[in-house]
Chain A
Amino acid sequence: MERTEVLKNINTIFIEVLDEENIKLTENTSAADVDGWDSLTHIQLVVSVEKFFKIRFTSKEIQSWKNVGEMMDCIKSK
């Protein structure tokens, strides 16, 4: 899957989980930039991303990403 497509899919997941239609993610977007992206919703995002891409993150990875790009690197590495 191309990076742009991965980003598009993640964007859709964010919209669904955070229930906010106007989310426009870039690779540099971090939790501080998105309303509602807190520790609790982070877990829902992780689970939804895992399910969509049919992958499993390690417990260390879940808390390691500084921004969306790093999450994408992690997905791409699986």
Chain B
Amino acid sequence: MKDFLKLKNNLKKDFSGLKKIKVALLGDTATQFLNQTLRATGYDAGFDLQIVEADFDQIERQVFDENSELYAFKPEVVIVFQASHKLMSKYNKLLPEAHTHLADERLALVESLCSVISDRVAAKIIYYNYSEINDSVFGNYANKLESSFLFQLRKLNYELMKYAVAHPNFYICDLVSVQNSCGKSALFHTSIYVNTEMVLSMDVLPLVAARTVDLIGAMYGKSKKCLILDLDNTLWGGIIGDDGMENIQLGTLGIGKAFTEFQGWIKKLKNRGIILAVCSKNTESIAREPFEKHPDMVIRMEDIAVFVANWENKADNIRRIQSILNIGFDSMVFLDDNPFERNIVRENIPGITVPELPEDPADYLEYLYNLNLFETISFSNEDAERTKLYQVEAERTSLSKSFTNEEDFLKNLEMVSVVESFNRFNIPRVAQLSQRSNQFNLRTARYTETDIELLSSSMDHFTFSFTLKDKFGDNGMICVVILEKEKVDTLFISAWFMSCRVLKRGMENFVLNTISDFAKEKNFKFIKGEYRPTAKNEMVKDHYKSLGFEKSGQDWILNTADHTRRTTYIKAHKN
């Protein structure tokens, strides 16, 4: 990880062309260096973080005064940093009988800060939890005494998590985990604190900024979706082709514990929606055997979406995996114990993340924990089902090869789509799809659950969600359209995004038929579309043109009277 001085060099670089995000930084301690580190770290992640830092210890004034700089700035992200040392000064000043209320009082303050911010500006809030200070006044007894500072601090951290569960726009950046991994003496530089009111050491700033930018990245659609695994000496110890299935190290054999626990972690990732793929230099039947028969394997064939084992070049194999999964290389992580293979992949596949796995497999987990590769800002039930979806996609791909004619293939799929407006059951998935869709996304507006709730109750917006099911299985909700009444005769498509899982099924035609029927029914003459280019959505550059919209300035217009229904093999299922 770059240190503070190296990161600072980024500040002189050219930020033009990077995604601009307005960030307000509010702290009750000195945050100038945190500000610089965040901006510099953002540069490496592809963001132009335009940070406005409030004057020292002005959190309440900035938030509660509706004419403050905070609201004039209209931030998209508000970072609030209230430090443990400040909390302790407050505790020290309280009468002992008030000590038991410290956590509740602070939580009440956080709640009122956040609700006022949310009322006045549509920003996501990032809040650092409280790094631990054990003042040792009661020794270990602090854990048995509600009024101790340690008890109150830990209670507060727990209550903050509960608050975050209930408030979709409130995200915790886990300073405690940073402290756990680097230690308190690295987090906190006593002499600097005494001289400056800075509670984070220069050494820890890059790590704190990285964790913060991870969160911002996830908010703006940067996330890892797929983990590609080598097998020999990565997933198990030894070489299956040479050692044989009985002798690979797993479970109690040799250093098998390291691999079994590593697989346990990978299985958890799979359960949370990360797609697993295998890319191994092996004979396929031999490579599959442990997944099918070895009693100590944690990962099984049903956990793997795409299994590639052959003697070809790994970069080519990863391209093949990519073409089946249809996700960006920048959302893939490749794990391989062999530095040579890692280099080939890194050099030939731009954007893919290839961690420098440590030499000793015992170190794999701790190393990967610290990289925090799998940041996310949402989790839905559909995530848990994702592997199955992609396995089914692989089957579909092989069916499509048996048809020479695409029409016949599409007819044969027996596709059905459920069209619904947003409701409380589908809102989390709508929000998530808006954050995850980068390629098939016409305007790349990101919505949180709160945004979606507001839209669904707006009189001027009409919302559509589409699912897609076929004879192989259910893809779940894969497309969203939001229409906005722009004029009395015009509907504007303010959002149209779709999962790339369902490309080339004629979903676009089905969606257009649906919205043009809707427009006609509500007496709108025109449907207006806009394409906003990003680094990723080139795919839909000609989307409106190919659907028969006419170009008009920067916009695309469809006259609903002239529009004839487009051919589609998808049947609508009305709920």
Contact = CB atoms under 8 A, between A and B. Distances in A.
B567 to A, nearest CB: 63
Interface in B2-55: 4-5, 8-9, 32-33
Interface in A1-52: 16-17, 19, 39-40, 43-44, 46-48
A44 B4 contact: yes
B202 interface: yes
Contacts of A63: 195
A9 to B, nearest CB: 15
A76 B4 CA distance: 26
A56 B5 contact: no
Interface residues of A, number: 16
Given A47-B203, A56-B191, A62-B192, 12 more contacts: A16-B5, A17-B5, A40-B32, A43-B196, A43-B198, A43-B202, A44-B5, A47-B192, A47-B201, A48-B5, A59-B190, A59-B195
B137 interface: no
B189 A62 contact: no
A53 interface: no
29 contacts: A16-B5, A17-B5, A19-B9, A39-B196, A40-B32, A40-B33, A43-B33, A43-B192, A43-B195, A43-B196, A43-B198, A44-B4, A44-B5, A46-B192, A47-B189, A47-B192, A47-B202, A47-B203, A48-B5, A56-B191, A57-B191, A59-B190, A59-B191, A59-B194, A59-B195, A62-B191, A62-B192, A62-B195, A63-B195
A43 B32 CA distance: 12
Contacts of A46: 192
A58 interface: yes
Interface residues of B, number: 17
A11 B202 CA distance: 20
Nearest to A17: B5
B191 A58 contact: yes
A48 B33 CA distance: 14
A74 to B, nearest CB: 12
Contacts of B194: 59
A75 to B, nearest CB: 15
A67 to B, nearest CB: 18
A40 B4 CA distance: 14
Contacts of A44: 4-5, 202
B200 to A, nearest CB: 12
A40 B198 CA distance: 11
A59 B193 CA distance: 9
A47 B192 CA distance: 9
A68 B203 CA distance: 24
Contacts of B203: 47
A58 B189 CA distance: 11
B281 to A, nearest CB: 43
Contacts of A62: 191-192, 195
Nearest to A16: B5
A17 to B, nearest CB: 7
Nearest to B192: A43
A7 to B, nearest CB: 20
Contacts of A16: 5
For the complex of A and B, list the 9 residue pairs with the smallest distance between their C-beta atoms, beginning with the closest: A59-B191, A59-B194, A47-B202, A62-B195, A59-B195, A62-B191, A43-B192, A43-B196, A40-B32
A16 B8 CA distance: 11
Interface in B158-197: 189-192, 194-196
A31 to B, nearest CB: 14
Nearest to B203: A47
Interface in B232-275: none
A42 B368 CA distance: 35
Contacts of A56: 191
